Structure 1
Amino acid sequence: MKMAPANVFRFFDLPPELRAAILSHVLVSEYSIILHNSTLFTLPLSSLSSFLNVFLVSMQMYQEASPIFYSQNRFTLNAQSHRLPMHLTRRGGFLSDEGQGARRRIRCLTLHLTRVGGEFERVLGPALSDMVLCGNLRDLRLRLIPPSWRGANRMADFDMVQRPPFQALLRLLADPYLERVELLAWKVHLTVFCPFHRTGNPLIKPNAESVDDQGLAIVRNGPDWVKLDWKSMVEMFGMGQPIMTIGERTY
């Protein structure tokens, strides 16, 4: 029987719980991981090894490492541009058919969104709903960025909350399979959101919010991100959309 060299470390001889602890140390970051496509992510500069190299060691390594990577990291999806970036929607991209298997494995996601428009209703919303219903997505943080047209002498669109794309967003927020939902707006935001952050927010001082000539509210001397009461928003604007937990759901 051929003996292994003395300087070879047999990783899979370790107990499973110790292997999991080591892989968590290598693959789990305290920072959010930026999504580019189904196989390319941006890891923090402090990470000295690529998760992809770990996945390619062997099939057993992939089977043990990938659940840790996808379930214990927080991923960030940037949809701030007027249209979804091509690298997300093209073949092999995170929002493509080929990326479905990877995105369904993600448990914690932060979405940066500027425009709740047609592409959200047609592409992004259905992909996120699929990640919840058919995948592992349970923790969703949504950050609403200031409108991209600010400064172009255009007024705010307050009717958007009644339109299909925004209604799709409300349905997503109220999905009973989501265990944690957080909705935040930037300190410059549409005044339609103001009633949902003014009550019970000790970080915002009285009279700290003003409205500019374009109909945008601005919070001064306060936090950059303002937490919104999304449940109240669903109850006010959602067209018959109930807020339920799994135990309350009936068929």
Structure 2
Amino acid sequence: MAKSDVFRFFDLPPELRCAILTQLLVSDSTVVLHNATLFSPPLSELTGILNIFLVNAQMYREASAIFYSENGFILNAQSHRLPVHLTSQGGFLSEEGQNARRRVRKLTVHLIRIGGEFERVLGPALTDMVLKGSLRDLTLRLGPPSWRTRATRSVDPDMVHRPPFQALLRLLSDPYLEKVEFVGWRVHMSVFCPFHQRKHPSTKTDHESVDDQGLAVLRNGPDWVELDWRALVETYGTGQPIVRIGERSY
């Protein structure tokens, strides 16, 4: 083969390179953040494709820009403590993962609780992804399906006034976020009851009851209920609101 016949990917027009890389790197499903490789099944097929990042510096710039901005990602923190694979060296929430997480545009976070680790680790990381990164579309899901078991769980009436929950409210109201959803499992703490739509119990549709632990159960309803986070911020927010002024500096 003559040297002139060699196909050179970077001789293609930028828009054509973008179209090709989009086909390779954008998944129809959300990408689960797992271990240092960022993946878990059923998306493991992407791990081989990401070797394209290693071709050269230009390929890394173009391919990673598409990968992080066009895919949706899921961070699963449905445990009493943040999973070690997220916080250990090279993990998504580690210092080494800062550059990668700042490039994510769309993220869903599954939480089991809003406690000290949210205030100290997860909340600041998410805030940094917004203020110094590309995060613009955030969904927070509170309460895993395991809540169906209704294990003993004491309800803290002052939870909404404590620093971790206040950190959550500040995050939700960040003006740089373009799309925000806050969703609760149908078995949820009664403090959230005024902040989701309920239908009249005399109908054959959704209605709600509260047990002796203060947990509300939406019966005959969807597994997840969308919470009015703006009303939550207005009712329980105590900090100064973040105001968007001009453009960010990097």
**Is contact 1:176–1:244 with CA below 8 Å preserved after alignment?**
yes
2:172 touches 2:229 (CA, 8 Å); kept in 1?
Answer: yes
Structure 2, unaligned stretches of length 5 or more?
none
Q: What is the aligned partner in structure 2 of residue 194 from structure 1?
A: 193
For the 8 Å contact 1:114–1:148, the answer to whether it is kept is no
Aligned pair in 2 of structure 1 residues 195, 174: CA closer, same or farther (>3 Å)?
same
Kept in 1, the 8 Å contact 2:31–2:43? The answer is: no
Q: How far did 1:53 drift?
A: 1.1
Q: Which moved more, 1:180-189 or 1:54-63?
A: 54-63
Assess if the C-alpha contact under 8 Å between 1:231 and 1:243 holds in 2. no
Contact 2:32–2:40 under 8 Å retained in 1? yes
Q: Cα distance, 1:3 vs. partner? A: 2.0
Q: Distance in 1 between matches of 2:154 and 2:111?
A: 19
Per-residue CA distance 1:24-54 (angstroms, 9 max, x = gap): 1110112110112454323645946634211
Equivalent in the alignment of 1:232:
231
- Residues 1:46 and 1:91: Cα distance change in structure 2 (over 3 Å): closer
Which string of whole-angstrom CA distances, capped at 9 and with x for unpartnered residues, describes residues 131-172 of structure 1?
Answer: 111111111100001597864434322321110000000000
What amino acid is the match of 2:218? Answer: V
Give the TM-score normalised by structure 2.
Answer: 0.87
In 1, are the aligned partners of 2:185 and 2:224 still within 8 Å (CA)? Answer: yes
Once residues 132 and 103 of structure 2 are traced to their aligned partners in structure 1, the CA distance between those partners, rounded to angstroms, is 9
Cα separation, 2, equivalents of 1:176 and 1:38 = 30
Aligned-partner Cα distance in 2 for 1:228–1:190: 12
In the other structure, the counterpart of 1:21 is: 19
Q: Which residue of 2 aligns with 1:88?
A: 86
- Counterpart of 2:178 in structure 1 is 179
What is the aligned partner in structure 2 of residue 218 from structure 1?
217
Deviation at 1:209, TM superposition (A): 1.2
Count of aligned pairs between the two proteins:
244
Whether the 8 Å contact between 2:170 and 2:239 is mirrored in structure 1 is no
Give structure 1 stretches of 5+ with no counterpart: none
Which residue of structure 2 aligns with residue 104 of structure 1?
Answer: 102
In the alignment, what sits opposite 2:159? 160
Judged with a 3 Å threshold, the aligned counterparts in structure 2 of structure 1 residues 205 and 228 are, in CA distance, closer, same or farther, namely: farther
Task: Tell me the TM-score normalised to structure 1 length.
Answer: 0.87
Asked whether the equivalents of residues 205 and 222 of structure 1 are also in contact (C-alpha less than 8 Å), the reply is no
Aligned to 2:127: 129
Deviations 1:62-117 (A, max 9, x none): 11100000001011001110000111111111111111111111111100001100
Preserved contact between residue 177 and residue 245 of structure 1 (Cα < 8 Å): yes
Secondary structure at 2:188 match in 1: strand
d(CA) in 1 for partners of 2:126, 2:243: 18
**Contact residue 235 and residue 242 of structure 1 kept, 8 A:** no
- CA-based RMSD of the aligned residues comes to 2.8
Contact kept? 2:37, 2:47, Cα under 8 Å: no
% identical aligned pairs = 68
Q: Measure, in 1, the Cα distance between the counterparts of 2:4 and 2:41.
A: 33
- For the 8 Å contact 2:160–2:166, the answer to whether it is kept is yes
Which piece of structure 1 moves more, 183-192 or 45-54? 45-54
